[in-house]
Structure 1
Amino acid sequence: MQLNRPDVVAEVTAAFTDYEEALTADDADRIVAFFAPAAVRFGVADQQVGLDEQRAWRRAQPPLPPGRRLKDTIVTAYGNDVAVVTTLFGYPGSDVLGRQSQTWVRLPAGWRIVTAHVSHPQ
């Protein structure tokens, strides 16, 4: 297994960037399209299993505050078909940074998130 093949890191970085654009645009259907059918997502105070739960939850959420910023984003590729993305995120007016991690897998439909976790320090 090759660690951090440049082409795989570039592909996942592009997918993650597209995901973040959908997230900040509050495009629920586009966000959900980045997840695999059986994906599990743990949020700050919520959890979803599968696309139906994810779609319903996304549609019920208010948009993110404007000005979301990322810090220390790391994409680590394991071979050709698996990668982990970790990042910190924050918003203007606050020094508090949340944490986000995603495991991406190359599926026939392309790169998809199979598990995600979002948290805030207490």
Structure 2
Amino acid sequence: MSLSPAVNLPHVAKAMAQVFERYEAALIANDVAVLNELFWDNPLTVRFGIAEIHYGAEAIRRYRELFVPPANMPRQLRNLVITTFGETFATADVEFLRDGDPVGRQSQTWVLFPEGWRVVSAHVSMLT
């Protein structure tokens, strides 16, 4: 018996790519409602930001409500790697570039719940 899930099933990878694109559009537009929707509404959700740490969906929501996006919020993505495992688990890792900033990195862990794909863990950092 194999416990290895199927990796990058085409229909799952396509769905995850669409959700990632929706997340990215919401991030650039600072669409707080969509960003909050796409994070798992649970105290176990974790987000490590560039200069902040949030444990739990409520802390993440409070941060989003107070966040003032920088003038250079639009960013160029490169080296996006989305990997799906089975039908309900995925990771999305990407580098990003913004004018005047060092290279940024973003890693997300996604799980498919009955209400849709949700980020359960996220990490953002900059190369220095």
Q: How far 1:93 sits from its partner (Å)?
A: 4.2
Consecutive unaligned residues in structure 2, runs of 5 or more: none
Residue 69 of structure 1 aligns with an amino acid whose one-letter code is Q
Distance 1:99 1:111 in 2: 21
Distance 1:66 1:115 in 2: 21
The SS at the match of 2:68 is: coil
Could you state the TM-score of these two structures normalised by the residue count of structure 1? 0.93
Distance 2:7 2:20 in 1: 18
1:51 matched to 2:57? The reply is: yes
1:70 matched to 2:77? The reply is: yes
Q: How far 1:44 sits from its partner (Å)?
A: 1.1
Distance 2:53 2:100 in 1: 27
1:36 matched to 2:36? The reply is: no
What is residue 15 of structure 2 aligned with on the other side? 11
Distance 1:87 1:60 in 2: 25
Residue 28 of structure 2 aligns with an amino acid whose one-letter code is T
Q: CA RMSD in A?
A: 1.2
**Identical aligned residues as a percent:** 36
Query: Could you say which structure has the higher strand fraction?
Result: 1
Distance 2:91 2:30 in 1: 23
1:26 matched to 2:30? The reply is: yes
Residue 127 of structure 2 aligns with an amino acid whose one-letter code is P
Residue 110 of structure 1 aligns with an amino acid whose one-letter code is G
